[in-house]
Amino acid sequence: MKRWLHLLHRWLGIALGLLILLWLLSGLVMLFVARPALQEGERLQALAPLPAAPPPVSAAQAWAALGIAGAPEGLRLQQQLGRPVWLLQEAGKTWHAVDALTGRPRAPLTEAQARALALEHAQRLTQRPGAVAEVELLQRDQWSIYSRFNAQRPLYRVVLADGDEGLELYIGQGSGELVLDTRAWERGWNWLGTVTHWLYFTPLRANGPLWRHVVLWSSGAALALVLLGLVLGLQRLRLRGRYASGSVSPYRERWQRWHHLLGLGAGLVLLSWLFSGWLSMAPWGWPGGERAAVGEQQRWRGGALQPASLSLPDALPAVLRDGVGELAALRFQGQHLWLASAPGGSRLLDMQGQVLPQGLDEARLRTAAASLQPKARVIEAGWLHQPDLHYYALRHQTRAFPVYRVAFDDAAGSVYYLDPRTARVALRVDQAGRWNRWLFNALHRWDFPPLAASVLGRDLVITALSLLGAALSLSGCVLAWRRLQSSRGRRNKRKPS
């Protein structure tokens, strides 16, 4: 039996050793370089300021001009190409643009319009004039393959002639919105980081179910490989009654001995990373979501957006003079709110024209929280001004404070973190989420409470452990190469001359 376990470990190592090494090295890159994404601050900075005068075409008229049944899922007002534009999302589908001066639906952007928009965005992002080197209309590519872009497809990829920075902007053809920006250094490092780590190669990632199965089964097999290695390594370890050589390991050949000892030192860490990474692919429906459920979101909003009831408040002109680049309609407890966003921050406005500089007050948040769990009782509620075990930020994440934290006595032990400035549920945690917090977040990202508070300390620990794991994997790759070369040599000798 032991011989078969050794053979299984050996051939799994030959098949997966290099992949595990790449996972470790790419994970180390990801620690310092996030995948390309348009940060909210960048998005707002790129927007042209809205004119102080409200547009003549209302949100209701814009929605009616599209002739779409039902209610819009999203509704925003932006300034594009020198004109105010209503952006409306059909429920579960794409975004549409309606000219807020004429009330006519705007045709999909032409290449010339995409060029002009990209130049406007680039000048605000880089603070210098630029030129367009290339424009391409595409459905998806390596950096826009994620499902969050589906409602904006097809996309214009506009390459800016900006020297070494290599800025590329992605603009939705239907909405004219800037949805992604990438730079040359991001793209280069992400080939070594996220693309390799998550096997995000476009032909594979475009087929979601196939990609998931490839990652799930390869990480599961790698998990079995490391687990076998730990069991066999412990069996061969002799702390008492050492081998004749005086060593705790039976292996005299250098690479074999190092692989044995490194496996005992780094194997457990590697096992925890592979296990938590495997869990992230949701085997057997493992829960990992942090968003409010659909029913909870509906109760929080109190219904769908109603363009006929959406009017621009009288206080809007004074707010717009502060450089607001976007007005977004929100539904909160059956009422409409406007979120006015500018590079310096966002403000809520109610339909009566009242500006809420600090967002929703405690009384409104507590009343709204009760709608999330109507059959449960609130057991704890209050403002959170600093991170706790679940609501915290890491290197590539941000968290807004303060938030209003509400805990319920339901069977799942649900806890909600409510953002008063955006009137949204920022985070939801239940019993499954608490398991996920420790079995994925803590094991995979090493955001244990002492380390999560220190970016430098966490980075140093993860870097050291990654290099130790890489050394273990490298020694396994060397042994795998030698085994393959040895097998090839034996086959050549058996061939008749």
In tens, the pLDDT along 79-120 reads 999 999 999 999 888 999 999 999 999 999 999 999 999 999
Weakest-pLDDT range from 399-408, 454-463, 488-497: 488-497
46: confidence class by pLDDT, cuts 50, 70, 90:
very high
What pLDDT is stored for residue 382 in this prediction?
96
pTM, whole model, 2 decimals? 0.91
What's the whole-number mean pLDDT along residues 464-480?
Answer: 95
Nearest-10 Cα torsion for 11, 13, 15, 20: 170
Tokens read off for 286: 């493992």
Check if the beta carbon of residue 296 is closer than 8 Å to that of residue 414: no
Mean pLDDT, range 436-456, rounded to an integer: 90
* Structural tokens at position 405: 């934290």
| CB 416 within 8 Å of CB 406 | yes
Strand pairing partners for 168? 159, 182
At residue 155, the 3 state secondary structure works out as strand
The type of residue at 43 is R
Q: What is the pLDDT of residue 198?
A: 95
Rounded to whole angstroms, the Cα distance separating 300 from 334 reads 8
Strands (E), 26-105: 74-80, 83-89, 95-99
Residue pLDDT, tens place only, 220-239: 999 999 999 999 999 988 88
Q: Would you place residue 487 in the very low, low, confident or very high pLDDT band (cuts 50, 70, 90)?
A: confident
What pLDDT is stored for residue 357 in this prediction?
82
What does the alpha-carbon distance between residue 157 and residue 135 come to, in Å, rounded to a whole number?
6
What pLDDT is stored for residue 100 in this prediction? 96
Identify the CA nearest to 381 among candidates 360, 406, 361.
406
* Overall average pLDDT of the 206-228 stretch: 95
pLDDT tens digits for range 346-384: 889 888 778 888 899 999 999 999 999 999 999 999 999
Of 352 and 184, the one with more pLDDT: 184
User: Mean of the per-residue pLDDT values for the chain?
Assistant: 91
Would you mind telling me the total number of residues written for the chain in this entry?
497
As a whole number, mean pLDDT of residues 449-471 equals 92
pLDDT tens digit sequence for 284-339: 877 666 777 788 999 999 999 999 888 888 777 778 878 899 999 999 999 999 99
Helices (H), 33-53: 40-46
**Mean pLDDT, range 391-403, rounded to an integer:** 89
Q: Is the pLDDT of residue 262 over 60?
A: yes
How confident is the model over 168-181, as a mean pLDDT? Answer: 97
Q: Is 471 exposed, middle or buried (0-12, 13-18, 19+ CB in 10 A)?
A: middle
pLDDT score at 179 = 97
Cis peptide leading into 154, omega within 30 of 0? yes
Share of the chain above pLDDT 70, in %: 97
CA distance 223 to 13: 11
Nearest-10 Cα torsion for 415, 417, 418, 422: -140
Q: How confident is the model at residue 270 (pLDDT cuts 50, 70, 90)?
A: very high
